[in-house]
Structure 1
């Protein structure tokens, strides 16, 4: 803990603790788990982006949403996981105060962005189910690109307000973050000043359920665990240990990015057909 020449804080760096009760003998195992999680998340979502880029037939509104979600998931994993991996691989949990502020901003930025993307995805599916004949006119590629760009820009607003608040907050005591990464709850707990918080026919029926079920599952996984983590401080009878809170946070943070590319690739007929063609083409080339 060093000295910073300003009137706001005496802390120049924080320490990412991660799981406080984890024994050191398991550090390398945990590091490998998070490393594999990062690689699978980035590779899986990158494949989805590459498929979209190389196949003109996928230049459709629905796939624009998927690619936007894939890029957001790659960004979130890249912001959150490398420092956590370093914490358990090289016992390097130190993070500079400004880097911590940046990580906090980007963690909540990608969280807000994913929420907006899921909202756009729900709007797209709602229009497809409720107004199938007007859907091609309402949800054109330019309209979807505009909505996507709007989501990527506006998602900065609330995280930006929180980040600005933290730059004027005082950190003059403990600097250990009992979490897997810097976030609003962790920084607020360490602040010795006041910081404002921002908290956020039968066949036809079967087709409708099939269309919306995946989004419903992803949204449930994304928001229900968040409710328990963020509501715990406000309900005295609702207790959660640090390790359970971190595990819950990691679950809702990384399970959707990990599963999204596989869910959408396996459920989307066009992508499955494209993958089959690519595999058959590679086999023909290999056979000469």
Structure 2
């Protein structure tokens, strides 16, 4: 574990890009072989706007990494943060708890807030208006949302008190986890269900992309499913009943245009439909 943390302490930018691109390529190939839904679409054409937003995410995050570094150095030097106030523990447990708590502050919490605050929901909407969810949808986030997510991650680093090696490890795991959970892959039901007790599985997260409430407002987790289960936001829905998109923005063609998506947060808010829950 020490070797892993040391590697991520000084990870080169091109290594991070390779890890992100490698995960995307891996799940792209897997979903081509065992798809959950057999979409009738041009996969490359569909990927263009999604990859554009993946690129803007990296462009925004890489220059801001120094803020993470400075914050991390400060909390370590001052023995500040949740995991630094806990009793001494093995390094593997220290690393696990660091990633676990960062997953809450950097992923679950902002995701939950984005769904509850109307202006933030309009920004996050870009992620939900993909009608063919696959691994490229993972980081289809409006540039404004990239700043929001970074801000919450920064808060997480401060509150949790993690060293920079764990921060970089968390961010790498986070990206690969979201590529996995969005991938259009069909796992055996029992495997997916068992996995969902610990991690956010593909079927679990697909429920979050159902086009109407209350399912859209559920399963906010990114790496660990524990936060949804503990905080009462976990829901189940058979995958054959899932319809992707958002009911108030139903135009699939427009929702595939980069310029339209960039303008989407500034459109008039429309109240979503709420459907009865599947029992």
Same fold (TM over 0.5): no
The structure whose residues are more often helix, as a share, is 1
Classify the TM-score, shorter chain.
Answer: under 0.3
Q: TM-score scaled by structure 2? A: 0.27
